[in-house]
Structure 1
Amino acid sequence: MGIWWFSVLIFVGYVMVWIMMPTNTFFLHWLPHIHAETDSIYFGKQGTFILVYTFPILLIATLASLYFHLEQKRSNRHNTKKREGLLGLASWKRPLLVNGPLGIIYMTELSFIIMFVLLLIWSLCSYLLDMFGSVALEAANQRVQVWEAKLECSALALGLVGNICLALLFFPVSRGSSILRFIGLTSEGSIKYHIWLGHIAMALFTAHGLGYIIFWDKTHQISEILKWNKVGISNVAGAVALLAGLIMWAATLPYIRRKAFELFFYTHYLYIVFVVFFVLHVGFSSACIVLPGFYLFMIDRYLRFLQSQQKIRLLSARVLPCEAVELNFSKNLGLCYAPTSIIFINVPSISKLQWHPFTVTSCSNTDSDTLSIVIKSSGTWSHSLYQKLSSSSPISHLDVSIEGPYGPASTFYSRHEMLVLVSGGSGITPFISIIRSLLFKAKSEEGKIPKVLLICAFKKSIDLTMIDLILPVSATAFDISSLQLQIEAYVTREKQPDMNDRKFIQTLWFKSNALDEPVSAVLGQNSWLYLGIIISSSFILFLLLIAILTKYYIYPIDHNSDLIYPYFSRSSLSMLFMCVSIAIVATTAFLWNKKQNKDLEQIKNIYTSNPSASPGSGYQNADKELGNLPLQSLVQTAKVHYGERPDIKKILSGCVASNIGVLVSGPRKMRHEVASICTSCSTDDLHFESISFSW
């Protein structure tokens, strides 16, 4: 608990620095004093920026990792519930705005949006007020008109305010971030913040660049755009960074994102060009202001790269007649994850570059040695996978790589008296893991388990087979009667069941491969502890390399004047040392954990000796109709409505419970409709939660 409050205290101090940064108090009094205390032959002037802007966030990330490691150990020993983070209060997550341009906005989100906008306005006004105070003198010194000097000041202020957005931009896309979990967020739920910050940052940086271009044009200095100064700001580097950012920004247009997703995805790798040339533009010392988020993102991205190099043991695939497939992977016994977690998968035989996120449908408690996902054929990549698995010539092995799983720290589902799960199409997949988790709790725990009402809408009756995936292949281990589960299914485009479309469910078993490994956390069971070690150790190594470089090479040249040694060389070496430090420490931790993974051979031996997974088994149950499968009882218990859509408002009004959790997963229109209903209700019994992925 002390770690938690200490981290909060550091964060409050860090926020205060950002609030005070645009003021003369900070620049004329605080910063010179800090410089006097921290400038040394080891770090130079950049030591101040590292101490003020970079160190606090990396310390919070390290402390948060340690906190979650201790919480994990404590919960394993005492079976206690995990803290849900700063934003985990249900009363804060009531939707306030539903149909606005930003989608569904909760009370907490709106509060932080207002505070963030006020910070941007405050910073811009403070910078302009201070700069305009001496604008007449500056205009006289530069021999330009006053309005031209004000234009230059405004362009500079816009760039400084844009740094605030850039400082936060990479936090939401760090999937395994301890900071995101510390404040109760998940990576998939935070993507929208990355989108918002990206739009604001690019708008500010574009205005910053245009302001300078207009100023140089009006003062006949347009050649300034091509200058790369030895020390100080490098204009051409800024132009390259802005150009890379504009290309990325253009690729995020809704039409391009929907119609040419690969163009959008690959264009986003220009973030490397953007960041590198941004650092070269402002110098590494000033870049330390926005460094923490990118530093943590680099650690996360490199760990994902290490994990993605492993080939995963694929056990079987269930091919459904609705053009959906369930992939079942071998899983490390020590891997635990919460319901609604996601993994990213790559199938090299389809595309070596494409990675796609899917919800994990299995439960780590009930499926101790397998991990499952469901993929609905709805695009080029998923259709190719379905065709490969459903072909008349079954494949015996499929190479698959994964990243993840990633998910929430804990679940709130059990605290409700009743759960209403509303899904559309393949949106049912997150609810499969929730239902399996509740089934496990109903059998293993004492206490009240919430009643579950599953409302699922499909286009065609053949899609009803998605309901069968609620129970795994080994369905005999489940007793569905232990959970009060009611299923209401709606077939919207058919008036009656299609009796001529009775196809088979096929199960394909794959050969084992000695090089394949089970799904496991990238850093093992003690992943949070290892993550904290990586963050702290890599940063210490980075500081050590910088100190050696500065003392024995840079300081003898410039003596901390910051006006002699080239910014390009200093920035390039600093970025190189940062990458080398992260690569060395993260690789060491990854290989050490891999060596210590004692469950690996056990999992391999279990499935290598499994006769049902023998190489020659091929398709199993291929000659059985759906009605003859063990899951028949679950399908028949569902009440199917043909030719109509669910009346959510009527259904919710008919639910009798004092605490109802309403979860929705499906198309945007469905999510907004359910959110509107929950918001308009005068009662506080409905607690809304949207499960959506905006990749």
Structure 2
Amino acid sequence: MDGRVRIARRGIWTVTMMVCVGYIMMWMAMPTAVYLTTWLPKLRSQLNSTYFSSQGTNLLIYTFPVLFVAVAGSLYLHLGAKLPYSEPDREAAKKNRLGRWRRPLMVRGPLGIVSGIELAFFSMFIALLVWSFSTYLHFFFSKISPSQIEDDGGTLWKAKLDRAALSLGILGNVCLSFLFFPVTRGSSVLPLFGLTSEGSIKYHVWLGHLVMLLFAAHGVSYLLLWALTGRLWEVLKWQHVGVANIPGELSLLVGLCLWATTFPSIRRRFFELFFYTHYLYILFVFFFFLHIGISYACIMLPGFYLFMIDRYLRFLQSRSRVCLISARVLPCETLELNFSKSPDLNYTPTSLLFINVPSISKLQWHPFTISSSSSLEQETVSVVVKAEGSWTRKLYEMVAFSPADRLEVSIEGPYGPTSTHFLRHDLLVMVSGGSGITPFFSIIRELIYGKTTLKWKIPKLLVICAFKKSSDLTMLDLLLPISDIPSNLSDFDLHIEAYVTRERELRTEDLKPMRAVWFKPSASDLRFGSKKEIQLQRSKLQTPTKNLQQTPMSRESQFYNPNTELESLPHRSLVESTNVHYGERPDLKRLLFDCKGSSIGILVSGPKKMRHEVAAICSSGLADNLQFESISFTW
């Protein structure tokens, strides 16, 4: 049965790639004279149907291939979910033929950390834009007639400026056609190519900048042309046939307002402003459709259509309230939130959840990496929240200082990779700074389950974590779940090098116990991943406490206060494998180059400077065994 599934998936993938190649070739042919003067008129004459009229051609050329890939990708992923993990899969992954191409090729630049594969595709996309622009200019310049020259002020260069402005607008539409794919979280298109929505956010950022640059140049060029030819009245023209000027100007103004808040310096300081202005995309697309008409809008319609379907499904999921069971409160202003989960819901390590707390904001959704393992913790799903912004600080204060009997929470997700390849390495090194360690908890817990239950042959693990204060060491207590801990971790090869950078010794005066706060579920709450409401009288949620009273339970941190009595063998194993350094930063170059093994996987999550430093070390070529894993946690 597995063999038939694999053959079917291989056939689907082959056909889908053929359609994708044809789709790319269509984009290359689109600006040519042969396509514009011969193929397109012939297609329009043959595909001019009663229902679709002239739009039938664009629907077939631009929309059908994308929808076909989306449907085929869904079937491909569905069949892949039926395949169990097997050793041949791991051995095939260990060959890693594209390992060199996956290494960071650019580290410090406007594009951020870019691998060889990403740079190659980015270069090809820029080449497509250059090819399209130059070909459109050649075609449009050759079609300039004396009457057009007369309309544009009687000089040839003004007529050429008119055609150049039109070409810039067409290029903007090309970029807009791909803009929504990276932010379609539940789409099957990204996983089909081994991508995730979180890891593809940077592509959305790159395309967004290109879209607004091209559209801004398009609009400015026409304003300049109208001013030079004495036709500024064109600004107030709204044609009922063809291109309408006023909607285009409104679309550009809305897009510029949206674009202004996306730059990192503004987005990080005024996140709420960035968040709310991003909803202007609705007006941007609406006026864009009015500007160019539905026929040409079909070019960018497929990606936007998939995005709207995804957005609607996310809206349906977000209407339900999930059951929040408990929270672990750490002295470093950090929470671990534990939700009730359906045992049937499975997800891969490093997956994301988007969380909304209506009592804080009904509109704001914030992403958090799942810290639990669906294999190890079948009844719960957990996320870690660090009080670093206004929204997260309000949540921390609500839970830590004035907890209520019940906290209403909605969840979207999970979103993550369809599979992971951590087992292909001999050693897995996880480098983190501050709260950046939280994405690694799900990896460690998943490998604990694989080692203790499935008897996997897992790689050795090295965690290099840097914290500002010694109280932040309590985050290491979250390496293990609040329950479902395997009894024996003595043969689990994990070593932790923890660095406290701003303190030279343990500050005992700040010692505080870690607390667990329990919440009362409501009958209207849902288990995450289930459509059934919680049955209070039968729910397993009652196992931690008899009646889920909201009485905090205290426990000293084993990492922050190692002098306390170790309460269990698993905690003893983890504490004994931890080495804490005070008053210094990790020498990442020395630590990584000292790692031994034929294949060493490097994961990094933390401040931008740390991520760039690790990427630079892996791309230096001084150690061929360092494999930089292209998993994105921050953008």
Provide the TM-score with structure 2 as the length reference. Answer: 0.93
* Aligned residue in 2 for 1:546: none
**For 1:378, what is the secondary structure of its paired residue?**
coil
* Aligned residue in 2 for 1:440: 449
* Aligned residue in 2 for 1:450: 459
Question: CA-to-partner distance for each residue in 1:251-291, whole Å, 9 max, x for gaps?
Answer: 11332212111111111111000111111111111100011
Question: CA-to-partner distance for each residue in 1:547-578, whole Å, 9 max, x for gaps?
Answer: xxxxxxxxxxxxxxxxxxxxxxxxxxxxxxxx
CA 1:113–1:604: 2 relative to 1, 3 Å:
farther
Distance, in Å, in 1 between the alignment partners of 2:538 and 2:100 is: 48
Distance, in Å, in 2 between the alignment partners of 1:462 and 1:609 is: 31
Cα displacement (A) at 1:444: 2.8
Aligned residues: 616
* Aligned residue in 1 for 2:19: 10
Worse-matched range after superposition: 248-257 or 306-315:
248-257
* Aligned residue in 2 for 1:343: 353
Q: Return the letter of the residue paired with 2:14.
A: W
Within 5 A, what are the aligned runs for 1:408-487? 408-474=417-483, 476-487=485-496
Distance, in Å, in 1 between the alignment partners of 2:537 and 2:629 is: 38
- Whether the aligned pair in 2 keeps the contact of 1:202 and 1:246 (CA below 8 Å) is yes
Distance, in Å, in 1 between the alignment partners of 2:355 and 2:86 is: 33
Matched, 1:96 2:105: yes
- Whether the aligned pair in 1 keeps the contact of 2:90 and 2:423 (CA below 8 Å) is no
Cα displacement (A) at 1:446: 4.2
Distance, in Å, in 2 between the alignment partners of 1:394 and 1:46 is: 57
Q: Return the letter of the residue paired with 1:96.
A: L
* Aligned residue in 2 for 1:323: 333
Matched, 1:659 2:599: yes
Worse-matched range after superposition: 169-178 or 138-147:
138-147
- Whether the aligned pair in 1 keeps the contact of 2:353 and 2:414 (CA below 8 Å) is yes
Distance, in Å, in 1 between the alignment partners of 2:65 and 2:589 is: 48
Distance, in Å, in 1 between the alignment partners of 2:581 and 2:305 is: 52
Question: CA-to-partner distance for each residue in 1:341-386, whole Å, 9 max, x for gaps?
Answer: 0101011112222111101000000001100000011111111111
* Aligned residue in 2 for 1:220: 230
- Whether the aligned pair in 1 keeps the contact of 2:325 and 2:541 (CA below 8 Å) is no
**For 1:96, what is the secondary structure of its paired residue?**
strand
Within 5 A, what are the aligned runs for 1:480-495? 480-495=489-504
Q: Return the letter of the residue paired with 1:640.
A: V
Matched, 1:37 2:46: yes
* Aligned residue in 2 for 1:240: 250
Alignment match of 2:379 (pick from 360, 369, 378) = 369
Distance, in Å, in 1 between the alignment partners of 2:397 and 2:164 is: 57
Matched, 1:682 2:619: no
Structure with bigger RCO (C-alpha 8 Å, 6+ apart): 1
Cα displacement (A) at 1:413: 0.5
Cα displacement (A) at 1:144: 2.8
Worse-matched range after superposition: 273-282 or 393-402:
393-402
Q: Return the letter of the residue paired with 2:625.
A: D
CA 1:645–1:141: 2 relative to 1, 3 Å:
closer
Matched, 1:618 2:551: yes
- Whether the aligned pair in 2 keeps the contact of 1:490 and 1:642 (CA below 8 Å) is yes
Matched, 1:518 2:527: yes
CA 1:354–1:690: 2 relative to 1, 3 Å:
same
Q: Return the letter of the residue paired with 1:512.
A: P
Question: CA-to-partner distance for each residue in 1:405-457, whole Å, 9 max, x for gaps?
Answer: 10011011011011111110001001111011111111233452100011111
**For 1:385, what is the secondary structure of its paired residue?**
helix
Matched, 1:383 2:390: no
Q: Return the letter of the residue paired with 1:12.
A: V
Q: Return the letter of the residue paired with 2:330.
A: L
Structure with the larger helix share: 1
Matched, 1:189 2:199: yes
Alignment match of 1:148 (pick from 154, 158, 161) = 158
* Aligned residue in 2 for 1:105: 114
Q: Return the letter of the residue paired with 1:361.
A: S
Matched, 1:69 2:9: no
Distance, in Å, in 2 between the alignment partners of 1:7 and 1:106 is: 25
Distance, in Å, in 2 between the alignment partners of 1:691 and 1:423 is: 13
**For 2:200, what is the secondary structure of its paired residue?**
helix
Cα displacement (A) at 1:27: 0.9
Matched, 1:123 2:56: no
Question: CA-to-partner distance for each residue in 1:474-533, whole Å, 9 max, x for gaps?
Answer: 16435322310001100001111112221011001110100110111xxx7xxxxxxxxx
Distance, in Å, in 2 between the alignment partners of 1:95 and 1:64 is: 28
Residue identity (%): 52
CA 1:611–1:371: 2 relative to 1, 3 Å:
closer
Distance, in Å, in 2 between the alignment partners of 1:623 and 1:421 is: 26
Provide the TM-score with structure 1 as the length reference. Answer: 0.85
Query: Where does structure 2 lack aligned partners over 5 or more consecutive residues?
Result: 1-9
Q: Return the letter of the residue paired with 1:450.
A: P
Query: Where does structure 1 lack aligned partners over 5 or more consecutive residues?
Result: 525-593
Worse-matched range after superposition: 170-179 or 635-644:
635-644
Within 5 A, what are the aligned runs for 1:260-409? 260-391=270-401, 393-409=402-418
Distance, in Å, in 2 between the alignment partners of 1:179 and 1:144 is: 49
Alignment match of 1:649 (pick from 579, 584, 589) = 589
Cα displacement (A) at 1:248: 0.7
Cα displacement (A) at 1:101: 1.9
Note the aligned Cα RMSD (angstroms).
2.2
Distance, in Å, in 1 between the alignment partners of 2:209 and 2:166 is: 19
* Aligned residue in 1 for 2:511: 502
Distance, in Å, in 2 between the alignment partners of 1:435 and 1:395 is: 32
Distance, in Å, in 2 between the alignment partners of 1:231 and 1:399 is: 51
* Aligned residue in 2 for 1:159: 169
**For 1:56, what is the secondary structure of its paired residue?**
helix
CA 1:72–1:510: 2 relative to 1, 3 Å:
same
Question: CA-to-partner distance for each residue in 1:117-162, whole Å, 9 max, x for gaps?
Answer: 1000000000111111133532036553211111111100000111
CA 1:462–1:311: 2 relative to 1, 3 Å:
same
Distance, in Å, in 2 between the alignment partners of 1:59 and 1:78 is: 32
Within 5 A, what are the aligned runs for 1:511-590? 511-520=520-529
Cα displacement (A) at 1:74: 3.1
Distance, in Å, in 1 between the alignment partners of 2:463 and 2:537 is: 36
**For 1:500, what is the secondary structure of its paired residue?**
helix
Q: Return the letter of the residue paired with 2:467.
A: F
